[in-house]
Amino acid sequence: MVLRGDSEVPTRGRPGAPQRVVGQAREILRARTRMVEILAEHTGQSADRIRADIDRDTILTGADALAYGLVDELAPVRRQRVLARL
């Protein structure tokens, strides 16, 4: 018996479950690849660096996000705006 990603393999009352999982995994990989491409294009970072940062769950401060190229500018802190009115 040869199993392929597009073959129908019954599994304990849930026919097609393996194919759905394979399809979902492919879609996740496709979406991740596209997300990396978009981020690389708009941030100027390499795709390899973005993939590595995503794999490490990198968390950036506002200033770090600005330097990375994820944001164009930082909004002023609300407290500073309130104090400026006084």
Domain count for the chain, please give it: 1
Q: How far apart are CA 69 and CA 51, in angstroms?
A: 15
Do residues 36 and 47 touch, judged by C-beta distance below 8 A?
Answer: yes
Output the pLDDT for position 43: 96
6 lies in some domain: no
Q: Mark 28-41 as b/e (b = at least 16 C-beta within 10 Å).
A: eeeeeeeebeebbe
52 lies in some domain: yes
Give pLDDT tens digits for 12-65.
656 778 889 999 999 999 999 999 999 999 999 999 999 999 999 999 999 999
10 lies in some domain: no
27 lies in some domain: yes
Domain assignment of residue 37, given as a range: 17-85
2 lies in some domain: no
76 lies in some domain: yes
Please tell me which residue, 8 or 56, carries the higher pLDDT value: 56
Output the pLDDT for position 32: 96
